[in-house]
Amino acid sequence: MTEFFMVLGLSYEWAWGIATICGILLIAFPLMLGVAMIIYADRKIWAAMALRKGPNVVGPLGLLQSFADGLKVFLQETIIPSAANKGLFLIAPIITFTVALMAWAVIPFNSGAVLANINVGLLYVLAISSLGVYGVVIAGWSSNSKYPFFSAMRASAQMISYEVSIGFILICVVLWAGTFNLNDIVKAQQSHVWIINGFVANPLLFPMWVMFLISGMAETARAPFDLTEAESELVAGYQTEYSSMAFALYWLGEYANVLLMCALNAVLFWGGYLPPLDIPVLYLVPGFVWLLLKILFFFFIFSWVKATVPRYRYDQLMRLGWKIFLPVSLLFVFLVSGYLMATGHFA
């Protein structure tokens, strides 16, 4: 895209800047539209599993319900508690929303179709996702209310706990692919097992995918790990004091993170933009279509689990992360590295 603007007579610096802004908008606008539509899809899936209709009034088949909800929230009054730290109170949802969008910069939508094709793309995703904890902690503390503060502490402990396991899981993927570049990780999955594209067909990496999927649900506070905003409590968690667009930013950020986890499942284990099988005719379908279908498949799993699995207790949630996922992921780091060394993979 930079070359296109240079052909129009712009200098390299201006062409690069405009091309970067266009690339950001090409990702951000479809992502925001996608978030609105998956909220609708989420509610429809829950309704179907509970034998209800779900949104069906606003627009054809209720498709405009999310936009109506957004307009309603936008027109509401923003209420700031009198004892709150106003600056931090307002910046916390902005941090959460912004961080949720920044991670998409390194997601490859097709071969070479990525905003920032950096060699440490996976480390970038880990670093950016870790920053989401700050939006949660700042929201709870700046509200100057005990319930949001307790919930923020609980949410941050949950997110940090499962990030540890996710880190060791991703080490296994990096060892096998030999790179941190997400585009190269996708390419390494081509014909990984016979004609199957994806690390998920590997017996040593399939358990890692299962753990990554579950850890992703805990990292994004989705059921059955949504202890931060349990309906059985009298408050809504760390965002209890928020209203209007500040609350909407948390809502949008949460779903953007869910979509990001679905995309990472597809990119790291299921071949990303590659077709499921290494058959020439399947490559006639554009890569971004395969990636979109895989993201929608994983989102259906996220929604299905939320509609059917009962919520964990907090002690069960932490025990799963520290006493099961952490030692198992460490064991598989040794197994994967040992196998790769024994087979001369690093030679």
pLDDT per residue over 279-313, tens digit each?
999 999 999 999 999 999 999 999 999 889 888 88
Q: How much of the chain exceeds pLDDT 70, in percent?
A: 97
Given a cut of 90, is residue 338 above it in pLDDT?
yes
Coil, strand or helix: which one is 10?
Answer: coil
Full-model pTM: 0.91
307, 46 contact by CB (below 8 A): yes
Do residues 219 and 169 touch, judged by C-beta distance below 8 A?
Answer: no
- Helices and strands (DSSP H and E) totals, the chain: 12, 0
pLDDT of 14-68, one tens digit each? 888 888 888 888 888 888 888 889 999 999 999 999 999 989 999 898 999 999 9
* Across 228-254, average pLDDT: 78
DSSP 324: I
What is the structure's pLDDT at 241? 87
Q: Is the pLDDT of residue 235 over 70?
A: no
Contact between 119 and 180 under an 8 Å Cβ cutoff? The reply is yes
pLDDT for the residue numbered 12 = 78
Furthest CA-CA distance within the chain: 64
Confidence of residue 209 (pLDDT cuts 50, 70, 90): very high
CA dist 14 → 1, 26, 117 (Å): 12, 18, 20
Average pLDDT over residues 149-174: 90
Average pLDDT of the chain to the nearest whole number: 89
76 sits in the region (left: phi over 0; alpha: psi -120 to 50; else beta) called beta
Say if residue 265's pLDDT is above 80.
Answer: yes
Query: How far from the centroid of its chain's Cα atoms is residue 278's Cα?
Result: 27
pLDDT score for 281: 94
Higher-scoring residue by pLDDT: 89, 16: 89
Reported as half-sphere exposure (CB side, CA atoms, 13 A), residue 254 has a value of: 21
Question: What percentage of the chain reaches a pLDDT higher than 90?
Answer: 46
pLDDT value at 347 more than 60: no
